[in-house]
Structure 1
Amino acid sequence: MIKAFFSYSTQDAAFVREVASEVGRAFATIDYRSFHAGGDILDSIDEALKESAAFVFFLSKAALASPWVGHEIREARFQAAMGRIKNVLVVRLDRDIAPGDLPEWLNRTKHITTIAAKPAARRIRTLIDDLVRQGQSPRFVGRAAEIAALQDVYSAPEPGAESQVACVTGLPRIGRRATLTKMVRESLDLETLLVIDVEPGDTVQALAAKLSALVDPSETSEGSLQMTREITALNDAQALAHALAKFQEICQYHQMPVLHDAGGLLDNDGDIAPYILDLIESLSQYPDIVTALLTNRRPSPDHFIARGMRQLGVVHLRPLEDADISRLVGLTAKARQITLAPATVREITAAVRGYPPSVTFALELITAYGPDLGIRGRMLSDFSASPLTSYLKQNKFSNLEQKILRVMAANSPLPLSVLQEATSTSDDDIEKALVHLIDVSLIVPTPGGWYEVSGPAVDAIRREFGACTKAEYRAVASRLDEFLARSEDGTDYLALQRTLFRAMDKAGQQSTPRAYALLTDRVKLAEQYYHEQEYHRAVDMATDALDADPGIHQARTTLIRAHVKLGEFTEAGDHIAELKKRGQVRDAFFLTGFLERHRGEYREALRHYQKALDSGRGGMAIHREMADCCLRLGDLPRANEHISRAEEKQPDNRYVVDLKIQIACKLSDRDTALSLLVRLAAIDRPEMVSHRTSRVEYLFGNTETAYEFAQKAVEKSDNVRFEVLANYVLCALRTSHVDEASTALDQLDRKFGRQRRDIRTGLRARLSIAEQDYQTAYAYTEQFVSPERPVHLLIRRDALRGILDRNALAPQRRADLKAELKRCEDRLAGREEDFDLDALGNLG
């Protein structure tokens, strides 16, 4: 763990102790905690300095007169020259000390003047956090060609050909930031990157507000809110000028401002957001600004051409070659003092598949279990499917560490004190847990001084450790609201105010004046509610966002999908028509296919999906959806063709693997289905793996086993999904657990009362048949929205048979029912179809 050595006079000890307490004991090395009485004090000092990455000198006249401090300063200079001490800070406690009173090397370091503990602690934490971020970056290997390409963008050999902005593309975790950082340090005389997320629903005003929160934060939460409101009230030209001024300041601080595409920089056509184009176009007026874009794919050049702008220099990063990964494994292992055999290095190289950060997690497993067990126990072979998920599954995180990760995956960023209070943890326990999670790169410090979960780990944490509970959201909201009410630390309050808004909304609490939401927060919450199957809340939140700005594309697409899931097809169709009006044709075709698929009109859905493909819509999702339609239509060759294309694009996507299992079941290929279940277990949540196992066993006729796995799926679910609960009801009915089925069906109706009416009605009818109440079952069949589907005809047939066999009926009534029974049997023509719970399940 990175630590700071505090050098000070005993006369200043009380103040230094207060600063150390604010910094956190795990991060500070100071003599009254680290040095052993009766031992060799000089040796203890030297050893402590050797283990510290930062040196903090509390400058006072008493400190300058102390021989012990003099020794510490001399030793610190030596350790700095050796490269062990990387950052030095002088905290001036006395303004009257002249520069000539200090050694020259200390005059060249960073200085602050303060007699208050909080500002000093904040500056020291910033120093440490910067070192943490550097330490979490993997050691650098390869990328010579990419670095040369970036150098050519920023300093082309031909005069006038150089650019102020480059675009670095590539998949997440591929090393985009590390490559850009290495280039700017070595070639542009900049120290580091300051990365700003561009999110769905962001505007130039939102960008300006985010930049101000980082560059010139207010001293109080109230001041931050006032500043944010003033910035968001600016017109576009004023906000753009403000954002450019902040870019300029960032560059003056020897940092590069970098815009990271978090869903709002590029649209589905690859077009850059217009206000970002405005910013790039204006850079010529600010020649001292150099910046970059980080995206997953290459931006479209069309709008650059239309504006007469020079096209972006684009540098694309691919996975590292095996030789480079092997070098990286060796260097990282050496730094951790791990000895690896060549065979183990080869195993790790194959497992991480060219993704540098995965080396960290692979070596953590080797450290925890040893190289032999790591390989023989198939940990690394499983690891290759999904490094983060496998790492979380196999490593032994304490209950507290799991809780911290679960809370922070849903509520980031957070201050350390809020996290401690929200998890009801002691000083020692929270510091120990946080230090470990920082060391393994799951928690990272933010530029604003808080802590957050590393972006790529969020989904894996949710899958493995569960979703944040409503009680945990309430605890975060309460403690964070109190923190903002009293805090005067003066840093990025906007990020915390946004976290507070989201936490309060998820907790179902009334917002407070200290909570603040950018439009992107509503867009992201709408999408989160959608994926949690809280479709009515998704509709409300997306509608709020569109009321504020009808042009937010992602909010409208989320709204359309939520309306479809609720069976509100007319409303969804109206919004699809709006997409067409706005020229977003390929998405309109895709979402029309999505709508028709949920209606059960699979041929019509395929027709619209094909139109979307022909219009240029690509990606994994469309092929996955087309594979699903082909599967429902019984066209298994085409289903296999499309799912293979989806798998090429995202081989570790859990929906793709899940659909491959369904196709294998349709082909009666039990062995393939079971082998794919093992693969699914590495990348999906435990309850969904149990659910899919239940469906496989059910489809192969093993209803008792299917019931057991369905029960496990429900028990493991923090927020049980429709398909999981519906499958449990069905399995309970098939195995004569009628009471359990009835209870679960009541829960299904309470939780999903506005969703999938025909499935819930059909299960009600099946429950009535199991209870031999055939008249009620028959009455339910009158309520089907799509009564001619085979499964609904089967239920009606069974209800009619029960009525005819067990009831005394008037002759005409019996004749009518017999005629109705014959009609059902003729329509079925011998087909025996069950509920297709998978058709409307995980996809979408």
Structure 2
Amino acid sequence: MAKAFLSHSSKDKELVEKIATQLGKNNCHYDKFTFEAGKLTLDEIFKGLADTDVFVLFISETALKSEWIEREIIQAKILSTDKRIDRIFPLIIDKSIHHSDERIPDWIRKPYNLRYFDNEVIILKKIRQLLRESNFKQFAHLREINDLFVGRNDIMQEFERKMINIENTKPTCIIASSFFEGMGRRTFLKNGLNKTRIIDKWYEPIPLSIGTKESIEDFLYKLNFVELTPEIFEKNFANESLQSKIELGREYIKKFVETGEILFVIDEGSIVLPNHTLVGWFKDIISAPELKNQVCICLISKFKPYGPNIKKLGNVLNFQVNELSQEDTQTFFIQYLSIIRQSIKSEDIKFFLQYLKGIPGQIIYAANLIDSIGVIDAKTYVNDIEEFDELRALSILEFLKDDLLSRQMLIALSKFEIISYDLVFKIFGEREAVYKSIQRLFDLTLFFSVSSTHDYLKLNTSISDYINRSKLELDKSTSERIREVAKEAIQKPLELTESSDYSEFLFTLETMIKEGRSIPSKYLIPSFVLKSIVKEYNDRQYKTVVQLCVKLLENEDKFDFQIIRETRIWLCLAYCRKQNEKLFDEIKYFNNQDDESQIDYHFLLGFYYRNGDKMDEAESHFLEVLDIDENHSRTKRELVNVYLRKGEYMKALGWAKDNYNRFRTNILHIQAYFTCLIKKIEKTEFDLNKINELLENASKSLDKKAADVYRQMQAEFDFYIRNDSQKAITSLTESLKINSNNYFAFRALFEIYKRKNMMFEIEELMKKYPDLIEFE
């Protein structure tokens, strides 16, 4: 792989060492890394230069006076002339040096665009881009993969038509939206910008990730790790006005524009909201007059913004990135197989094509699977390839079942919004096996990189959500190591500085909240604390949730409306769980006339009554929600619970079927649909086939609850289909012996005893498991 030689004065070592550390030992020649101790001679330097693809010259006053650097420059010119060094990258890092300084050799000063750089992240990005170009030249398949873009002719023509117009205007923000990952939104944007000559083919944009519960404060902190302004770390965003934070955001974007950079923001629902509106603070940032008529931000969005609202803004373009056509799917699949040097028979290509749905990520996944395990074994995964959107995570975890390190790493990384390599190595150790596991997960397209002063990884949201929803557990040693890392972290003061590892900062903050430690008031920011609120809620620590939400709401006027709304929702949910009547005061916030508020208002009331076992009242409010939004998925899930609780299985059936079809790996949806079908008096052949399918899916589920649910489903199958009540009762009784908290087994056994009119057995069951009675 390509290497960079970092030519610098010893007085500039502080900056250069940061760059070298981020590039890594295998990607650069830097004296501390590659020259043997005591052997920093001209021979050693020339040896390093001879193994160099990119010569990086850090120009400063002391560098221009150095004889060593002068010799490095002379040798670099010789090697460049002989085509043995691919690229020269001179950059000024000293404000006192002008680009016309005659001490800079003519062959560097005249042809190269010498500029002053004071941003280590931008320097790092430029070097990586040059290394990437060199790698593409050396390894043709890398470039082929990078350049692979098939089809999408209609949307690309629309992009060109809107970007090349009579008025010669350019949008400030371009949005590429698709609910599903792996649709090729980033590739589409990069190709579109290249075709309209906004960027060249080598350009790699700066990626920034904004998670589901983040806001302008996260945006600013993450930008600050790219374009460093140390004073930002001194600011107290908990007390800063929202307008001042918007002004800061504008200033940051202007800095990127001045250096010719474009931000690629990967948004998971905090900028383009689930209700298809653009969040207020982001609209205000991109409306700055100084940003007009130039592409500053590309937004890779999960949700499609509402068209008329986007049109009103006038400075935003939106493109919906849909599936490839059948013809383009075939072309993409064949070309990708060719690039990765996989030659398979035409009948095998036809076999896989029937399961591919035109999602580039799915096509790449299928091709990489063939490359990893061969055509014959890959064919056994076709059902998972077909159900790529929902079953991909299950398929990957099954695929990694014998690779315990990669599997544990995947589960561990799902606990972090972003995670640095440094933190990965603290948990798993910096060893060859860990590097190989990271590479394997990259090959499965499970990560993307986030630029900053540290190298960060971000796990694909669909994988992360599946792992967390299934409550997959880490092994004992990994859990213990994470606890040790947390213990070490909280011994230090919680402070965000220019040298901070942002992922470790968030991890420390979360650990402190979990342990009930006080945190500095400046970090009591909703988007920071909301991540912990959700985890505490899922751990049933409702008292902690209430305390945190109430604390955040003390300064609600300092934060964006949407993040405060989210905080109030979690506060209300905790009140519902605890059956706290303070809910009725808090819920007034949502009792407005707009549809979104009415949905939240009725959903929360329905949830309160459902938790209070008042099923008629719960049903009434949930139906109010569906009158406004017939596709509200959370309400559908709750209605199924209500009807199952009331024993109205046929009412629950339609909702349960819909929930299952949307989320086929969710064990509770599998169970609910199964329960409705199994309780039908007259079952069709379709019903029986579906019951068997649900049993099979439950048996494959990795969810923590899956074993208990599967045993319950098997017992109910024995009772309702095979009419073997004794086998069912024995199986459920054994399940309760294995796990005395197994509510699923208790509920099923209670129902069977009731149907058999076994009143004595019901009485004994309730005596033996009194803690489970409240569920019935």
For this structure pair, what is the TM-score category when the shorter chain's length is used for normalisation? 0.7 to 0.9
> Quick check: 407-416 or 365-374, which moved more?
407-416
Instruction: Provide closer, same or farther for how the CA distance between residues 193 and 459 of structure 1 changes in structure 2, counting only shifts above 3 A.
Output: same
Picking from 173, 187, 194, the partner of 2:196 is: 187
**Partner residue of 2:365?**
361
**Partner residue of 1:171?**
179
Maintained 8 Å contact 1:194/1:257: yes
Instruction: Provide closer, same or farther for how the CA distance between residues 680 and 400 of structure 1 changes in structure 2, counting only shifts above 3 A.
Output: same
SS at match of 1:696: helix
TM-score by length of 2: 0.75
Distance 1:574 1:796 in 2: 46
SS at match of 1:98: coil
**Partner residue of 2:631?**
618
Distance 2:763 2:285 in 1: 72
How far is 1:585 from its partner? 0.6
Distance 1:346 1:56 in 2: 49
Residue 244 of structure 2 is aligned to residue 238 of structure 1: yes
Distance 2:207 2:569 in 1: 27
Picking from 396, 402, 410, the partner of 1:405 is: 410
Maintained 8 Å contact 1:217/1:493: no
How far is 1:390 from its partner? 0.9
Picking from 520, 525, 530, the partner of 1:523 is: 530
Q: Which amino acid letter does the alignment assign opposite residue 625 of structure 2?
A: A
How far is 1:381 from its partner? 5.0
Q: Which amino acid letter does the alignment assign opposite residue 697 of structure 1?
A: Q
Distance 1:147 1:799 in 2: 69
Q: Which amino acid letter does the alignment assign opposite residue 675 of structure 1?
A: E
Give per-residue Cα distances to partners, 1:88-110, cap 9 Å, x unaligned: 57698998983325457983588
TM-score by length of 1: 0.69
Instruction: Provide closer, same or farther for how the CA distance between residues 670 and 625 of structure 1 changes in structure 2, counting only shifts above 3 A.
Output: same
Q: Which amino acid letter does the alignment assign opposite residue 455 of structure 1?
A: N
Q: Which amino acid letter does the alignment assign opposite residue 359 of structure 1?
A: I
**Partner residue of 1:256?**
262
**Partner residue of 1:391?**
396
Distance 2:502 2:735 in 1: 56
Distance 1:612 1:108 in 2: 60
Residue 745 of structure 2 is aligned to residue 734 of structure 1: no
Maintained 8 Å contact 1:620/1:645: no
Picking from 569, 572, 580, the partner of 2:591 is: 580
**Partner residue of 1:692?**
709
Instruction: Provide closer, same or farther for how the CA distance between residues 480 and 365 of structure 1 changes in structure 2, counting only shifts above 3 A.
Output: farther
Picking from 697, 700, 714, the partner of 1:679 is: 697
SS at match of 1:315: strand
Unaligned runs of 5+ in 1: 36-40, 81-86, 114-118, 706-726, 749-758, 767-788, 804-823, 825-833
Q: Which amino acid letter does the alignment assign opposite residue 25 of structure 2?
A: R
> After the TM superposition, which residues 310-389 of structure 1 pair with which residues of structure 2 at under 5 Å, given as runs?
310=314, 313-376=317-380, 384=388, 386-389=391-394
How far is 1:181 from its partner? 2.4
How far is 1:694 from its partner? 1.3
Distance 1:461 1:514 in 2: 32
How far is 1:325 from its partner? 2.8
Q: Which amino acid letter does the alignment assign opposite residue 330 of structure 1?
A: I
Maintained 8 Å contact 1:579/1:585: yes
Maintained 8 Å contact 2:385/2:392: no
**Partner residue of 1:710?**
none
> After the TM superposition, which residues 51-200 of structure 1 pair with which residues of structure 2 at under 5 Å, given as runs?
56=56, 61-62=67-68, 65=71, 69-70=76-77, 72-74=79-81, 79=86, 98-100=103-105, 102=107, 107-108=112-113, 123-124=123-124, 127-128=127-128, 139-157=148-166, 159=167, 163-173=171-181, 174-187=183-196, 189-190=198-199, 191-198=203-210
How far is 1:125 from its partner? 7.4
Distance 1:121 1:284 in 2: 23
Picking from 596, 620, 629, the partner of 2:609 is: 596
How far is 1:611 from its partner? 1.6
SS at match of 1:167: strand
SS at match of 1:386: helix
Distance 2:762 2:697 in 1: 44
Distance 1:405 1:460 in 2: 11
**Partner residue of 2:458?**
453
Q: Which amino acid letter does the alignment assign opposite residue 178 of structure 1?
A: T
Distance 1:360 1:255 in 2: 29
Picking from 537, 543, 553, the partner of 1:546 is: 553
Considering only aligned residues, what root-mean-square deviation do their CA atoms show, in Å?
5.3
Residue 421 of structure 2 is aligned to residue 416 of structure 1: yes
Q: Which amino acid letter does the alignment assign opposite residue 500 of structure 1?
A: T
Q: Which amino acid letter does the alignment assign opposite residue 466 of structure 1?
A: E
Picking from 248, 256, 277, the partner of 2:283 is: 277
**Partner residue of 1:226?**
234
Instruction: Provide closer, same or farther for how the CA distance between residues 75 and 34 of structure 1 changes in structure 2, counting only shifts above 3 A.
Output: farther
**Partner residue of 1:782?**
none
> Quick check: 543-552 or 332-341, which moved more?
543-552
> Quick check: 398-407 or 583-592, which moved more?
398-407
Sequence identity percentage: 13
Residue 573 of structure 2 is aligned to residue 564 of structure 1: no
Picking from 182, 197, 211, the partner of 2:223 is: 211
Q: Which amino acid letter does the alignment assign opposite residue 172 of structure 1?
A: F
Give per-residue Cα distances to partners, 1:186-240, cap 9 Å, x unaligned: 325244444545556655555444433432243xxxx65314x2x6544333332
Give per-residue Cα distances to partners, 1:438-484, cap 9 Å, x unaligned: 44443433221322232323234545963597644433335556899
**Partner residue of 2:40?**
none
Distance 1:505 1:121 in 2: 31
**Partner residue of 1:605?**
618
Unaligned runs of 5+ in 2: 37-43, 137-141, 723-727
**Partner residue of 1:497?**
505
Give 1 or 2 for the bigger CA radius of gyration.
1
Instruction: Provide closer, same or farther for how the CA distance between residues 397 and 522 of structure 1 changes in structure 2, counting only shifts above 3 A.
Output: farther
Distance 2:764 2:397 in 1: 52
How far is 1:587 from its partner? 1.8
Instruction: Provide closer, same or farther for how the CA distance between residues 412 and 129 of structure 1 changes in structure 2, counting only shifts above 3 A.
Output: farther
How far is 1:144 from its partner? 2.6
Maintained 8 Å contact 2:698/2:709: no
Maintained 8 Å contact 1:209/1:232: no
Distance 1:661 1:835 in 2: 27
> Quick check: 14-23 or 541-550, which moved more?
14-23
How many matched pairs?
A: 714
How far is 1:351 from its partner? 4.2
How far is 1:369 from its partner? 1.3
SS at match of 2:318: strand
How far is 1:499 from its partner? 3.6
> Quick check: 518-527 or 575-584, which moved more?
575-584
Structure number with greater CO (CA < 8 Å, separation at least 6) is 2
SS at match of 2:198: coil
Instruction: Provide closer, same or farther for how the CA distance between residues 138 and 616 of structure 1 changes in structure 2, counting only shifts above 3 A.
Output: farther
Give per-residue Cα distances to partners, 1:398-417, cap 9 Å, x unaligned: 44433433333223434433
Instruction: Provide closer, same or farther for how the CA distance between residues 235 and 572 of structure 1 changes in structure 2, counting only shifts above 3 A.
Output: closer
SS at match of 2:418: coil
**Partner residue of 1:84?**
none
SS at match of 1:589: helix
Distance 1:338 1:57 in 2: 41
Instruction: Provide closer, same or farther for how the CA distance between residues 625 and 349 of structure 1 changes in structure 2, counting only shifts above 3 A.
Output: farther
Maintained 8 Å contact 1:271/1:300: yes
